[in-house]
């Protein structure tokens, strides 16, 4: 295949890898807190130019470099928890974070290798147009699944405020990623010289028309109401205690912490539901049963309110302990409701391959780092007269797990503690992911955090109120219980994943029959 002059520079090693790295770094600006969503197109567009006419080896290298730029800048905040709370020192924390980024960037390298391989073999314009988004999304999906998954910075999140966000209730965040990469492929061809006649989708007019239709359709979908009210509004309050992570688990912090949360709670008994953050109580439930839980439950019941608190639970028979949310104040004749976190954070809440990596646990010295995953079949709790879908910490990063509570859940709750990552990009990115869960499900989402950002998010993914980061604050507001199911709730991620697999398979099978190259 002849190499175009414009791509000789792209294939030059000294320029190709830095350009790919810069494209990944540029893509970070598409996510919160920057939220410059057009730049989430610009980064992959530059990468696609670098992949054009590249060898599979060059495609892998530039894809890997893109991943290093995206993840290196986008999730470098991981070193904060390792450094400050793992007691390893700054140099070791940075080294471990870089190793993590180097490994995860390999997914983008694999996508680049496959893209370049298919491009060189020639698959026909239609085939490659649809295969590039499919390969990209499969890479993102695998990254969010293998070894319990790390689905941070999936490109679809960057589009929650763009017209493409309108497709989230239909296809979820991976579907939005697919359509974003389709837009990139259309732009790539539209901006390349030599487009005309009927050789490629009828020329520039068809390309521009496809983009207008795609983005205009998303804008119209933003106006669709996928769910409807299921009852009267509820008054809710989220308590943000702002307890410093380094002091949280110290023994002399227990009394002041409980005094703070109970004092702020007693000012909010007019609310139907009051929510404390993840592990707001730095003690096991049985240790504070008589001094905290029973009195609070009685007060909540007397005030016709309900309280949901984050508290670890210990099983005296097995010795296992759980990261849990506990409801107080419901009908005393009913059993107290609780939900134990099912999707734990590797190395932070549990140690994979514990038999061989036990010395690493002792070396890291992270408090409460050996939780047992909960076994609830569905993440549901009965709260304020309705079922609520519960997620703890980064469980809300997994849309396929959140929708397990639907359509039964009338609203969603996420309790978290992003204090592990300080004043970094992490809390803002996490809030953006929570917004996507609300949009995908057509439900209000109540987010209660320790140091921020607590938020009340409506079914369109819009933040109706939030607590300032690193401040003690009580966020109160009104939500409407919702009913019904969006298309994404009914089919989950499988529709996009299987569709992408089918398109890639077709492209691979057609690889032996060289079509007109995408040039």
Is residue 438 within 8 Å of 445, Cβ to Cβ?
yes
Q: Is residue 361 part of a domain?
A: no
Q: Average of pLDDT values for 431-455?
A: 97
Do 126 and 212 fall within a single domain?
Answer: yes
Do 481 and 501 fall within a single domain?
Answer: no
Over residues 26-57, the pLDDT tens digits come to 999 999 999 999 999 999 999 999 998 889 99
Write down the pLDDT at residue 129: 83
Over residues 235-264, the pLDDT tens digits come to 999 999 999 888 888 888 999 999 999 999
Q: Average of pLDDT values for 206-223?
A: 95
Active-site pick, 140, 248, 278, 460: 278
Write down the pLDDT at residue 200: 44
Concerning whether 362 is annotated as a catalytic residue, the answer is no
Q: Average of pLDDT values for 310-330?
A: 92
Q: Is residue 96 part of a domain?
A: yes
> Which residues neighbour 56 within 8 Å (Cβ) at sequence distance 6 or greater?
113, 114, 116, 117, 120
Q: Is residue 284 part of a domain?
A: yes
Over residues 331-351, the pLDDT tens digits come to 665 668 999 999 988 766 655
Active-site pick, 248, 341, 349, 460: 341
Write down the pLDDT at residue 460: 98
Concerning whether 393 is annotated as a catalytic residue, the answer is yes
Checking 378-382 for CB contacts under 8 A at 24+ apart, the result is: 378/404, 378/405, 378/408, 379/339, 379/342, 379/404, 379/405, 380/339, 380/405, 380/408, 380/409, 381/308, 381/325, 381/327, 381/337, 381/338, 381/339, 381/413, 382/327, 382/330, 382/334, 382/337
Domain limits for position 322: 228-341+370-485
| Percent of the chain whose predicted confidence (pLDDT) is above 90 | 72
Q: Is residue 57 part of a domain?
A: yes
Q: Average of pLDDT values for 305-320?
A: 94
Over residues 276-297, the pLDDT tens digits come to 999 999 999 999 999 999 999 9
Range name among 66-80, 116-130, 199-213 with the lowest pLDDT average: 116-130
Strand duo 338-340 + 273-275: pairing: unpaired
Do 189 and 294 fall within a single domain?
Answer: no
The DSSP call for residue 471 is: S
Q: Say whether pLDDT at 132 is over 50.
A: yes
Q: Dihedral (C-alpha) 497, 499, 503, 506: value to the nearest 10 degrees?
A: 110
Q: Average of pLDDT values for 445-460?
A: 97
∠ Cα 511 514 519 (to 5°): 105
Write down the pLDDT at residue 336: 81
What is the number of structural domains in the chain?
A: 2
Range name among 234-238, 371-375, 412-416 with the lowest pLDDT average: 371-375
Q: Which CATH number does the domain housing residue 471 bear?
A: 3.60.110.10
Task: Identify the helix (H) or strand (E) that includes residue 208.
Answer: helix 204-221
Higher-confidence residue of 326 and 193: namely 326
Do 419 and 474 fall within a single domain?
Answer: yes
Is residue 142 within 8 Å of 92, Cβ to Cβ?
no
Closest to 319 in 3D by CA, of 283, 249, 355, 371? 371
Do 505 and 444 fall within a single domain?
Answer: no
Active-site pick, 306, 393, 440, 460: 393
Write down the pLDDT at residue 349: 65
Write down the pLDDT at residue 515: 45
Strands (E) in 82-164, as ranges, are none
Write down the pLDDT at residue 197: 44
The DSSP call for residue 345 is: P
Q: Is residue 503 part of a domain?
A: yes
Cα–Cα distances (Å) from 59 to 9, 13, 48, 113, 500, in that order, read 14, 11, 9, 5, 20
Write down the pLDDT at residue 509: 83
Do 398 and 467 fall within a single domain?
Answer: yes
pLDDT averaged over every residue in the chain: 89
């Amino acid at each position: 295949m002849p190499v175009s002059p414009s791509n000789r520079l792209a294939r030059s090693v000294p320029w190709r890898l830095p350009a790919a790295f810069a494209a990944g770094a540029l893509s970070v600006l598409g996510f919160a807190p920057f939220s410059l969503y057009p730049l989430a197109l610009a980064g992959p567009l530059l990468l696609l130019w670098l992949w054009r006419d590249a060898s599979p080896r060059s495609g892998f290298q530039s894809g890997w470099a893109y991943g290093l730029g995206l993840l290196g800048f986008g999730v470098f905040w991981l070193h904060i928890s390792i450094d400050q709370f793992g007691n390893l020192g700054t140099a070791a924390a940075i080294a471990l974070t870089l190793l993590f980024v180097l490994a995860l960037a390999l997914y983008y390298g694999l996508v680049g290798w496959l893209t370049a391989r298919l491009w060189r073999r020639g698959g026909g314009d239609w085939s490659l147009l649809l295969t590039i988004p499919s390969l990209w999304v499969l890479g993102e999906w695998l990254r969010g699944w293998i070894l319990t998954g790390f689905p941070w910075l999936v490109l679809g999140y960057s589009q929650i405020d763009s017209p493409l966000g309108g497709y989230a209730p239909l296809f979820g965040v991976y579907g939005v990623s697919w359509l974003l990469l389709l837009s990139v492929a259309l732009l790539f061809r539209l901006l390349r010289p030599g487009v005309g006649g009927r050789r490629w989708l009828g020329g520039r007019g068809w390309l521009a028309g496809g983009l207008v239709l795609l983005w205009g359709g998303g804008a119209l979908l933003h106006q669709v109401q996928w769910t409807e009210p299921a009852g009267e509004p509820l008054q809710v309050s989220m308590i943000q205690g702002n307890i410093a992570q380094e002091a949280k688990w110290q023994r002399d912090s227990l009394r002041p912490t409980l005094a703070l949360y109970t004092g702020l709670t007693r000012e909010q008994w007019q609310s139907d539901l009051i929510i404390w953050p993840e592990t707001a109580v730095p003690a096991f439930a049985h240790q504070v049963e008589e001094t905290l839980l029973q009195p609070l439950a009685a007060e909540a019941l007397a005030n016709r309110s309900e309280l949901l608190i984050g508290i670890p639970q210990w099983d005296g028979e097995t010795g296992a302990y759980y990261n849990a949310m506990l409801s107080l104040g419901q009908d005393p004749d009913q059993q107290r409701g609780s939900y134990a976190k099912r999707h734990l954070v590797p190395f932070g809440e549990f140690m994979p391959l514990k038999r061989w990596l036990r010395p690493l646990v002792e070396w890291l010295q992270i408090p409460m780092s050996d939780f047992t995953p909960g076994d609830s079949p569905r993440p549901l709790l009965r709260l304020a007269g309705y079922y609520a879908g519960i997620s703890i910490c980064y469980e809300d990063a997994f849309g396929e797990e959140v929708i397990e509570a639907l359509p039964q859940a009338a609203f969603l709750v996420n309790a978290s503690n992003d204090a592990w990552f300080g004043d970094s990009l992490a809390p803002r990115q996490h809030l953006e992911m929570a917004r996507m869960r609300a949009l995908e499900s057509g439900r209000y989402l109540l987010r209660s955090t320790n140091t921020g950002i607590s938020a009340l998010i409506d079914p369109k993914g819009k933040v109706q109120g939030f607590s300032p980061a690193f401040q003690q604050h009580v966020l109160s507001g009104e939500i409407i219980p919702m009913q019904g199911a969006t298309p994404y709730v009914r089919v989950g991620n499988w529709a996009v994943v299987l569709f992408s697999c089918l398109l890639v398979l077709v492209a691979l099978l057609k690889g032996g029959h060289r079509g007109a190259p995408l040039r």
